[in-house]
Structure 1
């Protein structure tokens, strides 16, 4: 590994999988970095049964793919698994990047923190399974929520791969201590986000150092909307973490 090369671990959000980083990985490689994308339990190619898709299992998937030189990037709900991993073993990573992600509040679940937002932009699009264990996103509303500035090809690719999201890990509280606090962090806000309100992203990072909060003028999916700009920003952040 060269002095400039950084290892990134990419952790997806709700209903997505490792597939969503398709366009970002080559952009990071072009900048001399390596990147690995994982499927959280039950997503993409992972076949973990629904009753085993817990927050702890998501945490362990992150830890299994990370090492002390890794910068872990969590998108959207992915902010919770990466935070749980940092809390469990802060020495297992070099830093965390929250990509338009939910920032944990100690003692609250991801769902609890999301509900604190001033606007609930996805509520009408959520479809709960009859058994109450999973949810999906209405495919007719998904483009406007997730990919409102993406190409038609990208939207078609994403809709083909979107899958169910298990509810349990997102309703499980996470306790945060000094373990999590001591891991270096950065946040990337997306100012045209139609999933997590941009003003809530500002609120969640209000007490963060200003040089650790960045912005991209994209939708909730900057890895599709402008992967080159996202890669350049991650490259910049990697110099500071």
Structure 2
């Protein structure tokens, strides 16, 4: 097999990059720059309701009115995992006209790329999970969050970041514009402990506050006869305190048990949940040398 950049027919691949919860295509800019310098095509997706379609009410701005913001309806409340999958399938259909497709998902983006693998396995040449949810036994990330392997996650310490009633809003709403130093320190420890305070705040300011509960709780399991037929890789992030490495390893093991003839190709980076963005050369080196 040749490297992922060119397949056996001499056609170069396109990397389709899918973000996680509360994020958008902007997060992939460091990775895309490195891929471009190496001569590779990439397409960073904005999932429905993300990017320039994100919802930033006036009450979220400064000075903030948290009580008012807690009652503001969110357009993301109607967004489902199927909406995300259908959107990315449309992207994959277009880029597949130009050669092989390598579909990369980070964090919650793993549920979307799994759904795409179920829907159009013939159009995806490799799936890559970057510390991402790859569900096969339990239906959703929320179900896995009660398991012992998730115990090292620091996300549970961030309840004070939440605004409004998720059940009533239909979204998880996080105040990423908080100025509370203790809350900011806890959030940094959870998502970017290996960055400077300045880097962490810069990352925080590209995030959007709402994420659909329906996406996080939908059945996101990969199926052996569709998703399970696609070659796949997992990039473990050993210092991740959002999706702990013990849970990453469980997800890998369960997937490999489902498709023992098509196990994960596993790589490890010593970074936090988003630390791979601070020095993207390590991730791009993995991506551009995967077998295709």
From 20, 25, 47, the equivalent of 1:18 is 25
1:93-172 counterparts in 2 under 5 A?
93-105=124-136, 108-116=139-147, 117-119=149-151, 120-126=153-159, 127=162, 129-130=164-165, 131-137=168-174, 139=176, 140=184, 141-163=186-208, 164-172=210-218
CA distance in 2, matches of 1:149, 1:191: 12
> 1:84-112: per-residue Cα shift (whole Å, max 9, x none)?
11101112221110000111125612211
Tell me if the contact between 1:128 and 1:134 (Cα under 8 Å) persists in the aligned partners.
Answer: no
CA distance in 1, matches of 2:247, 2:271: 15
TM-superposed CA distance for 1:40, in Å, is 1.0
Residues 223 and 136 (structure 1), Cα distance of their counterparts in 2 relative to 1, 3 Å cut:
farther
RMSD: 2.3
TM-superposed CA distance for 1:135, in Å, is 1.5
**Count of aligned pairs between the two proteins:** 239
Structure 1 stretches of 4+ moved >3 Å: 1-5, 136-139, 207-211
Uncovered stretches (5+) of structure 2, i.e. residues with no partner: 56-74, 177-183, 257-261
TM-superposed CA distance for 1:138, in Å, is 5.4
- TM-score, structure 2 as length reference: 0.75
Tell me if the contact between 1:110 and 1:173 (Cα under 8 Å) persists in the aligned partners.
Answer: no
- TM-score, structure 1 as length reference: 0.89
Uncovered stretches (5+) of structure 1, i.e. residues with no partner: none
CA distance in 2, matches of 1:53, 1:210: 32
Residues 195 and 107 (structure 1), Cα distance of their counterparts in 2 relative to 1, 3 Å cut:
closer
